[in-house]
Amino acid sequence: MKVGAPAESRPAERRVACVPETVSSLVDAGLTVHVQEGAGRHAHAPDAAYRAAGATVTPEDPTPESDVVVSVQPLTLDQAGLLKPGAITISFLQPANERALLEVYRDRRVTSFSFDLLPRVTRAQSADALSSQALVAGYRAVLVAAERLPRFLPMFTTAAGTVPPAKVLVLGAGVAGLQAIATARRLGAVVEAYDVRKAAGEEVRSLGAKFLELDLETQSGVYASAQSEEFLERQRELIGEHVAQSDVVITTAAIPGRKAPVLVTTDMLKAMAPGSVVVDLAAESGGNYAGSVAGEETWVGEVLVHGALNLPSSMPVHASRLYSRNVLNLLKLMIADGTVAPNLSDEVLDGCCLTHDGQIRKESP
């Protein structure tokens, strides 16, 4: 069977779904791999490296001839219309935003899998692309803030006096938040963090940051769930003074398939010191600050709000390596004797399968 890796066609996407290291593994599993010329250029994976790993590099998009198509972003409607009946696709794909694409997949009897819906169970951890890419985003968010902050992050003691460390507040302590905490600590900042999940406190403290204990109801689950507007209002009241005292605020709270909760208000930003920076990782889903615009920077008084847009794509080398391993590990659940044959009785495959056998199986996350 042929696995195709086309060059990404959606704007500003610099990652690739298959790197030479994973090509070797797919070939060893009995599959043939076809990669479009230049697909890995941003990730510094040259065509020669793909050939050396056993792939065929093609000048044209390999989608029409492929049995399995792997990509980072969803295929375009034009690409989807070229898929073989019965083909398999693997990518990020949020059904709420891609209804037209799902209908094409349905009509062409394509079996599509989305990492957005991958069940968060132990067996699926090695294929958890949301987590691997969140790690990249959390790291990058701190670098974005440090570059824009008009002061040092670490403390310096000099003959001219002592420069105190910057104060960083991280809202949300999932994978992105924890990586942001770790990175800010490595750069010498004083870090505080808050998460609605009580269990996150131990992880935050293990990284050397202070966990904010707010007078609020906590959640006991592994992943945060949506809260009432009354809860969010009280949360904003208690967070406000911590935001005002921070030089950098990094917000990471997002709920798949829903609008991001508003954690930071304009009044909070106006209380921050001039030159402070907010990096909103949830900007693409509405923003933890309601005024965030994905891909744009906005000044609120003298505070800069950076609306993050696809931060993992800004670090395409390691983001691609991690993502391609996730793709490989998901495919391994489907491969038997050189054939990709997904068994949807498997809870992992069933959970992230959007379309199959002419049916749309899931309408939203």
At residue 218, the pLDDT reads: 62
Q: Which two tokens stand for residue 341?
A: 């044959």
CATH code at position 70: 3.40.50.720
pLDDT band at 347 (very low <50, low <70, confident <90, very high): very high
Work out whether strand 277-280 and strand 248-251 pair parallel, antiparallel, or are unpaired. parallel
In degrees and rounded to multiples of 5, residue 33 shows phi and psi of -125, 130
Q: Which of 99, 120, 123, 205 is catalytic?
A: 120
Q: Is residue 164 part of a domain?
A: yes
Q: Is residue 299 part of a domain?
A: yes
Q: Are residues 338 and 217 in the same domain?
A: no
Q: Are residues 350 and 298 in the same domain?
A: no
Higher-confidence residue of 126 and 97: namely 126
**Active-site residue, 280 included:** no
Q: Are residues 87 and 216 in the same domain?
A: no
Q: Are residues 281 and 338 in the same domain?
A: no
Q: Which of 47, 128, 247, 280 is catalytic?
A: 128
At residue 79, the pLDDT reads: 97
Read off the pLDDT of each residue in 183-188 and give the average, rounded to a whole number.
98
Output the average pLDDT for the chain.
Answer: 94
Q: What is the pLDDT of residues 56-71, one digit of tens each?
A: 999 999 999 999 999 9
Q: Which of 125, 225, 359, 364 is catalytic?
A: 125
Q: Are residues 192 and 73 in the same domain?
A: no
User: Half-sphere exposure of residue 314, counting CA atoms within 13 Å on the CB side?
Assistant: 15
Q: Are residues 159 and 244 in the same domain?
A: yes
At residue 223, the pLDDT reads: 52
pLDDT band at 364 (very low <50, low <70, confident <90, very high): low
Read off the pLDDT of each residue in 305-330 and give the average, rounded to a whole number.
98
Q: Which of 66, 114, 131, 285 is catalytic?
A: 131
Q: Are residues 193 and 319 in the same domain?
A: no
Q: Are residues 229 and 324 in the same domain?
A: no
CB of 110 closer than 8 Å to CB of 88: yes
Q: Is residue 332 part of a domain?
A: yes
Q: What is the pLDDT of residues 212-257, one digit of tens each?
A: 988 776 655 545 556 777 878 888 889 999 999 999 999 999 877 6
| Cα–Cα dist 120/204, whole Å | 21
Domain hosting 100: range is: 2-128+315-360
Q: Is residue 113 part of a domain?
A: yes
| Residue among 130, 243, 131, 149 nearest 188 (CA) | 149
Q: Which two tokens stand for residue 149?
A: 């902050």
Q: Is residue 133 part of a domain?
A: no
At residue 264, the pLDDT reads: 95
Higher-confidence residue of 120 and 227: namely 120
Structural domain tally of the chain? 2
At residue 271, the pLDDT reads: 96
Q: Is residue 365 part of a domain?
A: no
| Cα–Cα dist 307/164, whole Å | 27
Q: What is the pLDDT of residues 328-344, one digit of tens each?
A: 999 999 999 889 999 99
Q: In sequence order, what are the residues at sequence separation of 6 or more whose Cβ sits closer than 8 angstroms to the Cβ of residue 117? A: 95, 256, 351, 352, 354, 362, 365
pLDDT band at 91 (very low <50, low <70, confident <90, very high): very high
Q: Are residues 116 and 159 in the same domain?
A: no
Q: Which of 10, 107, 206, 223 is catalytic?
A: 223
Q: In sequence order, what are the residues at sequence separation of 6 or more whose Cβ sits closer than 8 angstroms to the Cβ of residue 43? A: 14, 15, 16, 19, 316, 317, 319, 320, 321
**Active-site residue, 125 included:** yes
At residue 12, the pLDDT reads: 87
Q: Are residues 208 and 344 in the same domain?
A: no
At residue 96, the pLDDT reads: 87
**Active-site residue, 345 included:** no
**Active-site residue, 105 included:** no
Q: Is residue 84 part of a domain?
A: yes
Q: Specify the pTM.
A: 0.93
pLDDT above 60 (res 302): yes
**Active-site residue, 36 included:** no
Say which residue the tokens 């769930």 belong to.
Answer: 225
Q: Are residues 97 and 157 in the same domain?
A: no
pLDDT above 80 (res 199): yes
Q: Are residues 197 and 256 in the same domain?
A: yes
Q: In sequence order, what are the residues at sequence separation of 6 or more whose Cβ sits closer than 8 angstroms to the Cβ of residue 60? A: 36
Q: Is residue 49 part of a domain?
A: yes
Which amino acid type is present at position 28? D
